[in-house]
Amino acid sequence: MKCFLALAVFCAFALGLHAQVVDTTVCDVLKDPKSFDGKTVRIKATVAAGFDQFVLKGSGCGHYVNAIWLSYPEGSKTKAGPVALLQVQMAHNFTGTVPAIARTPVTLDKSKDFKQFDSLLSTPQKGTAMCLGCTRYEVNATLVGRLDGVDDAGVRRDAAGKIVGVSGFGNLNLYKARLVLQSVSDVTPQEVDFTKTDPITKSDTPPDTPYQAPLDAITAAHHAALGFPGTPLGAELERAAAAFGKPGEHNGVNIGTGATNEASAKDEAQGAKDSPDGVLFNCTFNMSRLPGIALTRAIIHMGEHVADLRNPPADLAGANLSNLEFRAWVNTVVSAFAVSQKTLTAPGGYLLWNSAWAAADREKLLNDTLEMFLVREELLSR
């Protein structure tokens, strides 16, 4: 009888745990992310890893950001994820209040399915031409994990425009929902179509300039700005490069290298370092995925983000992720043009720059392709 009772209690406990897993969709989560905060969810979705993107796609959800950010638990030591990431954090000398956040730990099941999932999403696109953060596959899968959700994402400003708080997840903290992965199943690869760009880019081999550290790439970014002396384009490139500060200067922009795919508790807490304006801008680069001058393109891209968040132009205050990404990608392309780079491709096979384009058509071709990329690939709207 005791054994029977023990078995009954165990079964009831197991059923209770199973009942705690909520089946949902990306779009349902994005309707009210905060209502899912802390819950264990199961979602069938398409997952993509790009330049500054690691997400569960939610096409057609009708939001500014139609995706859930994906993270692995801290210490997972895995491969897939974005190649560059900028996260905002209140500094040690911030005088306001940073709420303490307690989250239930997640243990990643590194099953055979997960290893396939992680491997597919970290397989780079073949070719010698520069394709920033491009992977060969997206993955359709069923994912289970802890859902973190907030009502508002991004930086909060006071009436004077000063940053006084931050919430949200992923790049620029502008995702309202994050899934910290526990397990994955039903893994099906979906090869990205590069057939339209491959014939154009196959003969392009950018100069092999392997930088030993991001500081070298920052110097190269300053040099790129010299390609447009005395022009608005040159000034914008210099603004992006200068966002990282001068050598030895502690301006609140921290540069790290390594994993960009893990959810770390310290990133949601108050920072350990000071900053002139009480705000830290933490940039992380996956050096193994940014060979040669690709690191300079990444520096320009993230520098533009830092400059736009720290000192936004009057028409950019309160801009959403689509606006910010548009500006950053335009300046990334301009930096490629400045050093006579032949082509530049974005994830999903979107050709953003081709030196063979007629000069009169370049601006329109870039704008049109970039708009399609942001809507169709990054699932952003204005």
**Maximum separation of any 2 CA atoms in the chain, in Å:** 88
Sorting pLDDT into bands at 50, 70 and 90, what band is 44?
very high
pLDDT, average across residues 161-184: 97
Q: Does the pLDDT at position 7 exceed 60?
A: no
Q: Is the pLDDT of residue 4 over 60?
A: no
Confidence of residue 209 (pLDDT cuts 50, 70, 90): low
Res 9: pLDDT: 46
Q: Does the pLDDT value for residue 2 go beyond 80?
A: no
Q: What is the pTM of this model?
A: 0.93
pLDDT digits (tens, 9 = 90+) for 346-360: 999 999 999 999 999
Is the pLDDT at 381 greater than 80? The verdict is yes
Name, in order, each residue with C-beta under 8 angstroms of 44's C-beta and a sequence gap of 6 or more: 25, 140, 141, 142, 143, 186
pLDDT in tens, 114-152: 999 999 999 999 988 999 999 999 999 999 999 999 999
Question: 214 or 69, which is more confident?
Answer: 69
Q: Which residue has the higher pLDDT, 357 or 59?
A: 357
| Average pLDDT of the chain, as a whole number | 92
pLDDT band at 319 (very low <50, low <70, confident <90, very high): confident
Show the beta-strand stretches assigned E in 13-83.
Answer: 21-24, 40-49, 54-57, 67-73
Asked whether residue 318 carries a pLDDT value surpassing 80, the answer given is no
Residue 3 has pLDDT above 90, yes or no: no
For the cut 50, the answer to whether the pLDDT of residue 16 exceeds it is no
Q: CA-to-CA distance for 18 and 21, rounded, in angstroms?
A: 6
Measure the CA–CA gap between 155 and 157, rounded to whole angstroms: 7
Cα–Cα dist 20/4, whole Å: 25
